[in-house]
A and B are shown apart, each in its own frame.
Chain A
Amino acid sequence: MKTADDTQPLWRRRRLPAFGRLATLLGASIVVTAFVVAIFAPYLTPYDPFAQDLNLRLVPPVWMESSHAAHLLGTDQIGRDYLSRLIYGTRISLLIGVLTVITSGLIGVTIGIVGGFYGGRVDALVMFLITCRLSIPLILVALTVVALVGSSLTVVILTLGLLLWERFAVVARTTTMQVRNLDYIAAAQAAGASRAHVLVREVLPNIASHLVVVATLEMALAILLEAALSFLGLGVPQPLPSWGLMIAEAKEYMFFSPWVIVTPGVALFILVLGINLLGDGLRDMLRTDLRHRGW
């Protein structure tokens, strides 16, 4: 089908609609800001996030009455600076997001590529594994593991990483099936390339752009799940400043000091929104890219 878009010069085609571009840019800047904040956290925080000051408990943020100019976002129930804790919380969230995506990506992409490439019985096994994984209730398993092993950052990352691979596997499998019958795969095999070379150097780079989109979605999901687990008291242990944990600790004070629960909630919302907007933008860019490659 010929659309008006096809008549545009090539450099214009990749452009998204104005609103979509704005949203993608917004998402990208949120994510970049979050990473910068997480990396340079020690230089950005005005206070030690673990230092308590029982004289200054539940100080409201600066725009409210009876606030302290020194504590921009106020303090929590035992007088720790809220802004400092929020900044260190970015570290926890991103650390969990990135490491979970790396773990689950390695598992899912390996399984998916192998199943999609070899087909037949191997693929039947892969589909069985994916179906099994889909039938496992995520939160319940995570709760059980944490209850049995005890909660620590490593346990949370490993549990989520070992559970969140199925979308990687599904996408890697279907895209590999599209690629495997192309002639450059046959040419590489005829050239005497090893199986590992064919899968890693010929197939993987050609499906990578799809996997990047999955990675953003999974990262947002992992961050939300960590917050949920921490809220339930089974995620990151105290006194680490995780956003989920901050919300959990704040829930007793929410009627008289609502900002203690609103602040980490808004931070979580903005970060996940940013990651999702970026993922959507990448997906749309990829779709235009694919359309013009004649797929």
Chain B
Amino acid sequence: MTHAIEVRNVYREFQQRSAAGRVRSAVHAVDGVTFSLAAGNVLGIVGESGCGKSTLARLILGLLPPSSGEALVDGRSLAHMDRRERARLIQPVFQDPFASLNPRQRVRDIVGLPLASQGDLTKRQQTDRIMEMLARVGISTEMADRFPGQLSGGQRQRVAIARALVLHPRIVVCDEPTSALDVSVQAQILNLLSDLRRELGLTYLFISHNLAVVEHIATEVAVMYLGRFVEHAPTQDLFRRPMHPYTQALLASVLTPEPALGIPDVGLGDAYPDPTDIPLGCRFHPRCPKALSECRTLVPDNIRKDGRLVECLLAAST
């Protein structure tokens, strides 16, 4: 199987400068991410807020240049493509449909923007494609002339999906596409995304902090911690047998509907990870309930086991 997308050793740091222009501190938002994804698959990327998920999405979309490393589609670097070519290959769906649609444009113009930017279609052809795509995501024709303010949250997200798919891209980066929506609407949007993937043969990068959603839609899952993938495995394996202590804690933190159980204690302590000051050794060791003394000095780099990636010394030794 061919890789739809390949990400090689991508780093991105943000520098905070003092008034004099000297670098005060650097935030290592994405700190060496490598993965590849076969066409037609869905990679779920999970992790707590601030772990670099959204920065990774922006890097892959080419909205932000990486400090080093590259993202390849079809073996060609996204950074070296012109904007039209990149738009035909990869498109985003953002979290908040209230912020991702321009409030001053009509639905037909929002969905038509990728087509208009290509500049090779007549108005008539564009309108046909727009209407076809709107019908596909379940937006009726008479809504095409409305403004986003006149639509509900779920309808807005459908419009955002239509915009992302109108060029029939290979890859869609979904950055928490359901977390701003009502629970009842979330399922509809997820099913819509699943159906469209099957019909159009899409590949998704699906970023979320909702483990249930990821388990539902993803074929493989990567767990991100302080800018790195600490575990990357097929969905079933990861949920059935998490190997990294951080993954185990994440899975244990899922709330049960049993009120008597309360909020589960996952044993991570209160220390909050600080991307300006990444610990030496294993980046997770200050919070790890199973840390050994070696974890403070040895970096568990690129450890593979049973066809999965686990950045943990424990996994390497057992």
Do A190 and B61 touch across chains, with their CB atoms under 8 A apart?
A: yes
| A193 CB contacts on chain B under 8 angstroms | 83, 113, 117
A194 within 8 A of B: yes
Shortest distance between the CB of A193 and any CB in chain B (Å): 5
Interface of A, secondary structure class, is helix
B308 within 8 A of A: no
Do B102 and A192 touch across chains, with their CB atoms under 8 A apart?
A: no
| A183 CB contacts on chain B under 8 angstroms | 94-96, 99-100
A146 within 8 A of B: no
B271 within 8 A of A: no
A152 within 8 A of B: no
A184 within 8 A of B: yes
| A144 CB contacts on chain B under 8 angstroms | none
A249 within 8 A of B: no
Chain A 270-281 interface mask (CB, 8 Å, partner B; 1/0):
000000000000
> Measured between alpha carbons, how far is A190 from B64 in the docked complex, in Å?
11
Do A190 and B87 touch across chains, with their CB atoms under 8 A apart?
A: yes
Docked complex: B61-80 residues within 8 A CB-CB of A = 61-63
| A188 CB contacts on chain B under 8 angstroms | 102, 113
Do B113 and A189 touch across chains, with their CB atoms under 8 A apart?
A: no
Do B63 and A189 touch across chains, with their CB atoms under 8 A apart?
A: yes
Do A182 and B99 touch across chains, with their CB atoms under 8 A apart?
A: yes
A205 within 8 A of B: yes
> Measured between alpha carbons, how far is A190 from B91 in the docked complex, in Å?
6
Docked complex: A177-229 residues within 8 A CB-CB of B = 182-184, 186-194, 197, 201-202, 205-206
| B99 CB contacts on chain A under 8 angstroms | 182-184
Do B103 and A206 touch across chains, with their CB atoms under 8 A apart?
A: yes
Q: How many inter-chain contacts with C-beta < 8 Å in the A-B complex?
A: 64
Shortest distance between the CB of A245 and any CB in chain B (Å): 43
Given contacts A191-B163, A192-B86, A202-B102, contact A186 B58 (CB under 8 A): yes
Chain B 84-100 interface mask (CB, 8 Å, partner A; 1/0):
10111011101110011
Central interface residue in B61, B63, B102, by most chain A CB within 10 Å: B102
Do B117 and A187 touch across chains, with their CB atoms under 8 A apart?
A: no
B114 within 8 A of A: yes
- Picked from A187, A205, A293, the residue with its CB within 8 Å of the CB of B92 is A187
Do B160 and A187 touch across chains, with their CB atoms under 8 A apart?
A: yes
Size class of the A contact interface (CB-based, 8 Å): 10 to 19
B101 within 8 A of A: yes
B118 within 8 A of A: yes
> Measured between alpha carbons, how far is A21 from B87 in the docked complex, in Å?
48
> Measured between alpha carbons, how far is A204 from B195 in the docked complex, in Å?
37
* CB closest residue in chain A, given B101: A184
* CB closest residue in chain A, given B100: A183
> Measured between alpha carbons, how far is A183 from B180 in the docked complex, in Å?
13
Docked complex: B108-123 residues within 8 A CB-CB of A = 113-114, 117-118
Central interface residue in A184, A191, A201, A205, by most chain B CB within 10 Å: A191
> Measured between alpha carbons, how far is A193 from B118 in the docked complex, in Å?
8
Do B113 and A191 touch across chains, with their CB atoms under 8 A apart?
A: yes
| A184 CB contacts on chain B under 8 angstroms | 99-102
* CB closest residue in chain B, given A204: B104
- Picked from A189, A190, A206, the residue with its CB within 8 Å of the CB of B102 is A206
| B105 CB contacts on chain A under 8 angstroms | 201, 205
Do B117 and A191 touch across chains, with their CB atoms under 8 A apart?
A: yes
* CB closest residue in chain A, given B92: A190
Do B83 and A187 touch across chains, with their CB atoms under 8 A apart?
A: no
Chain B 166-206 interface mask (CB, 8 Å, partner A; 1/0):
00000000000000000000000000000000000000000
| B163 CB contacts on chain A under 8 angstroms | 187, 191
- Picked from B62, B102, B114, B117, the residue with its CB within 8 Å of the CB of A194 is B117
| B83 CB contacts on chain A under 8 angstroms | 189, 192-194
| A190 CB contacts on chain B under 8 angstroms | 61-63, 86-87, 90-92
Do B114 and A191 touch across chains, with their CB atoms under 8 A apart?
A: yes
Shortest distance between the CB of B163 and any CB in chain A (Å): 7
Shortest distance between the CB of B80 and any CB in chain A (Å): 15
Do B87 and A192 touch across chains, with their CB atoms under 8 A apart?
A: yes
| A201 CB contacts on chain B under 8 angstroms | 105
* CB closest residue in chain A, given B96: A183
> Measured between alpha carbons, how far is A183 from B148 in the docked complex, in Å?
14
| B113 CB contacts on chain A under 8 angstroms | 188, 191, 193
| A293 CB contacts on chain B under 8 angstroms | 103
Given contacts A187-B160, A205-B104, A206-B102, contact A192 B117 (CB under 8 A): yes
Given contacts A191-B114, A192-B117, A194-B117, contact A186 B102 (CB under 8 A): no
User: What would be 10 A-B contacts, judged by CB atoms less than 8 Å apart?
Assistant: A182-B100, A183-B99, A184-B100, A186-B61, A186-B92, A187-B94, A191-B113, A191-B117, A194-B117, A205-B104
19 more contacts with CB within 8 A, not counting A186-B58, A194-B117, are A183-B96, A183-B100, A184-B101, A186-B61, A186-B92, A186-B94, A187-B100, A187-B101, A190-B62, A190-B63, A190-B92, A191-B87, A191-B117, A191-B163, A192-B83, A192-B114, A193-B113, A193-B117, A293-B103
- Leading 8 A-B pairs by shortest Cβ distance: A192-B87, A183-B100, A205-B104, A192-B117, A191-B114, A183-B94, A184-B102, A183-B99
